[in-house]
Amino acid sequence: MADEKTEEKPAEAKPEAGAEKPADTAAVKEESAAGDGASDGDDAERKPADPSKPVMAVKVYAPFKIYFKGDAYSLTATNETGPFDILPRHHNFLCMLLPCDLIITTPYEVKTIKIARALLHVKADAVTVFVDV
């Protein structure tokens, strides 16, 4: 009987360890399946975006309309000195924009907004563009 008990204990320990691994694997598969089913490209782009490419919060709006609100890798615009880019971790910055195409590069697309005049403000990884001011 002592032999049977010792045989049962290792047998029980092995399935427990094996049961934990498939449970973890199943959880990973469910997450990836949920991610693949909902938005395949979004998850694939978000994972590398966070560690390798920093993003900044960008808001572009007029008094009665929001043109863009979300995370972006860069923003390109034009002021009196010429075209310029704003990237994450940019220093605090304030300027008037000339008529130009405001180009916002996001993890998912490149969005272009035509502006006549605007005020651009950068502070603490947040870019705010006030259009038609």
Element at 126 (helix H, strand E) = strand 126-131
Which residues constitute the domain of residue 22? 1-52
Residues 63 and 93 in one domain: yes
In degrees, rounded to 5, the angle at the alpha carbon of residue 89 between the alpha carbons of residues 35 and 84 is 105
Residues 3 and 37 in one domain: yes
The last residue of one of the domains, among 35, 52, 69, is 52
Q: Which residues pair with 122 in a beta bridge?
A: 93, 127
In degrees, rounded to 5, the angle at the alpha carbon of residue 72 between the alpha carbons of residues 69 and 74 is 125
Residues 63 and 126 in one domain: yes
Per the structure, the count of domains in the chain is 2
CATH of the domain at 108: 2.60.15.10
Residues 67 and 47 in one domain: no
Q: What is the mean pLDDT of each run of 10 residues along the chain (133 residues)?
A: 51 45 36 36 43 88 96 96 95 96 95 96 96 89
Residues 64 and 127 in one domain: yes
Per-residue pLDDT at 93: 95
